Structure 1
Amino acid sequence: MALFHTLFCILLVVLCCVSLNGGDAVGAVSDAAADVGEAIRVNATGRHDDDKAGGDVETNLPCPEAESISPCLCTSDGSYTMYMDCSAVESEKQLASIMSQKFPFPGFYSLVIKNNDNLKVLRSGALGVNTFQEFHITDGALQEVEVGALSGSYSTTTILDFNNNYITSFPWERISSFISLETLSARSNFIALFPTLVSNSLAYLDLSNNPMGSMPVTAFINTPALKEIYIREIGIYNLPSGTFFGHPHLSTLQLSFNNLGQLTEGAVQMGAGKTKVYLNNNMISNVAANSFSGLISGDFVYLYSNELTELVEEVWQPLIMFGVYLDFRFNPLTCGCDIAWIVLNPSILSHIDSDTTCSNGQFIVDLDPAIYEKEC
């Protein structure tokens, strides 16, 4: 305001000079007025026209200022979607300090922290009031995710990705609070007990490579929307009947590299079509009739690298009649009369993987049907 008064006084003095000296001073008046106008404009906007000539002053919007969140990085795309990467954060305290700031726009698409050995505990409140749709905290030293650490994103999160860490403690009891959660992956951690999960939206679950050792029959009873389950190499030795019952959308079941020795009636129940069941690399030597249900034409069951010695017609013929393809490679099959029903029927034989061999290495597809016609 003081500057405005000063400039106004200068203008009055110039006008007085004009009245005394006549028209010769008109040009001076014009120049003085222009200077006053520019001074007033610069005082109000803080920018000269030549500033504008170089383009508008750049901002990080919608991202926070880069200096304020370093060493985290925020990027945005053409639709102003923001992505936060804090892979270089140096401590839990630093992460909390960065996230506690009041950002212009607190809604982020994703938070990525990868290959970080400094973050061992994701503490409650560490992410401030910011929200995220996806969490990708992977390949690091994370051991614990505290209850409440992700609470600000209960209504927005669709993906929780915590693969390849050292996690022993995770807020499984809060999964039901993530009302839009579709993917939960905590592969290759140190989770000792199979968690009780409750979610009406969860479609993809991966808990592979965790030292659980067992899995309750009720493991998936409260996750009806599941489409894909990956529980590879978790040490389970038993599949109780009904474990996968009530999942009409289930299309992929990954159970390879476990300690399964047998399959009881009702062990595997699918229902979506275009299904793949992976039971390879176990120790399965016995499969009961009606162990599989819900499989239809075009579905696949992978049983390679197990301990099967016989292919009992009562067990496998119903699946093949429905059009299911079976992979029995790398099993010590004796290839006796138990497989006559396969060798003597080309249609059935076509549903067995062509690389399946007997224990002596001979391919089943190369066996002479005449032997089985005569001896069986």
Structure 2
Amino acid sequence: CEGRCWLCAGVGHLCHSLSSCTTTRPVQCDLDSKEQLAEIFKATFPINRFDYFVLENSNIGQLQKGVFGDIAFSAVMLDSNNLTLIDEEVFATSYNFLKQLYIYEDNMGDELDFPIKDINQFTKLEEIDISGPYKTIISLTLPELTSARLSLDFMSTLPATTFTGAPNLITLTLESSPIINIEPDTFKSLTHLESLEILYADLSNLVESSFAFNSENLTYVYLSENNIQTIEVGALAGIHGEAELDLSSNRLEELQEGVFIPVVKELTSGHINLAENPLLCGCDLLWIASLSDEEKQRLQGVAKSCNINTEDYDMDTLLDFLVYQCSTHTPGSPQM
């Protein structure tokens, strides 16, 4: 046994020291059933608040209301327990203490609702990391939340109000969720946002204001590998200064002037990464020739997406060719 307080070790065995506890300690469990968990927390603990609770690789199935008695936790980690149901108020005694919540479940084919329906009751919650076979999410009302990572295997819709009640988010990651669209102003209320990552979604088209931001601290917008094919004018707004915008490894064929010039003009030392897109490299790129050399440097990966061998040619060679070719053709139609 480690530490001075109660500890679940092995499979359902309680360990404790003879001295009473005056500080919080971890509780870590590896169990075979919900009955074992209930039996453990029937015991009388010398304290009722612990730093964290870890339950992993167990066959619990369900966390039932009241199972933890009057025990409260500052952090909870539930990892690979075949959990299909977490009763509301299971962690009610932690409503005013819990700061970190981690839930990971393997995708076994069943589509489940968001696992913590009473998540908005946690008044001190700062960090959440939830991954598993979940199809829905609820609008978060968590004013202390600063970090969120969500990987919801069956969530195709992200309501525009999902994060409006979490205005202090600093980092937000949406990974491996089959989201098909982002509604306008979904992220605009996040005035402290520094980093947004969305990857392995199925966005296809970015509508106007879908990625409109209102944060002076924004430094990183990662939208790689989302099957993005088209971007509407005004879809990208509030990306400025040193911010990095990564649109690599999507399915963009054209780069519209009205979409990208406003962003390029707002950047200073930031960049837009457009590598690994199947660009047609036609007259739709002619607008790049009007940029200053400094502004051109803010566009990265265009030459690579156009299959230009930069050892023999540079981007200016392509632009010179486009200026010549497109002067007698309709801009936007590829002539190469």
Shorter-chain TM band: 0.7 to 0.9
Determine if the alignment matches structure 1 residue 283 to structure 2 residue 230: no
Task: Name the residue aligned to 1:63.
Answer: 5
Task: Name the residue aligned to 1:342.
Answer: 288
1:254 to 184, 192, 197: 197
Task: Name the residue aligned to 2:41.
Answer: 99
Determine if the alignment matches structure 1 residue 90 to structure 2 residue 32: yes
2:62 to 121, 130, 133: 121
* Partner-residue secondary structure (3-state), 2:51: strand
Q: Is the 8 A contact 2:308 2:314 kept in 1?
A: no
Higher strand share: 2
1:142 to 72, 83, 98: 83
* Partner-residue secondary structure (3-state), 1:149: coil
Task: Give the number of the structure with larger relative contact order, counting CA–CA contacts within 8 Å between residues 6 or more apart.
Answer: 2
1:199-278 to 2 correspondence within 5 Å?
A: 199-270=142-213, 271-278=215-222
1:287-366 to 2 correspondence within 5 Å?
A: 287-323=231-267, 324-343=270-289, 345-354=292-301, 356-360=303-307, 362=309, 365-366=314-315
Q: Which amino acid aligns with 2:43?
A: Q
- Give 1:179 shift: 0.7
- TM-score norm. by structure 2 comes to 0.83
CA gap 1:140/1:318 in 2 versus in 1, 3 angstroms: same
Distance 2:128 2:85 in 1: 16
- Any stretches of 5+ residues in structure 1 without a counterpart? 1-58
Pick which of 363-372 and 303-312 moved more.
Answer: 363-372
Task: Name the residue aligned to 2:119.
Answer: 175
Q: Is the 8 A contact 1:60 1:66 kept in 2?
A: no
Deviation digits for residues 126-163 of structure 1 (CA, Å, limit 9, x no counterpart): 11211110001113322211111111111110011002
Distance 1:61 1:333 in 2: 59
| RMSD across aligned positions (CA) | 2.9
Structure 1 or 2, whichever has the larger Rg, is: 1
Q: Which amino acid aligns with 2:86?
A: V
Distance 2:256 2:114 in 1: 44
CA gap 1:356/1:304 in 2 versus in 1, 3 angstroms: farther
Amino-acid identity (%):
24
Distance 1:348 1:80 in 2: 57
Distance 1:213 1:65 in 2: 40
Q: Is the 8 A contact 1:96 1:128 kept in 2?
A: no
Task: Name the residue aligned to 1:22.
Answer: none
- TM-score norm. by structure 1 comes to 0.75
- Give 1:341 shift: 3.2
* Partner-residue secondary structure (3-state), 1:100: coil
Higher helix share: 1
* Partner-residue secondary structure (3-state), 2:262: helix
1:371 to 309, 316, 321: 321
Distance 1:281 1:135 in 2: 31
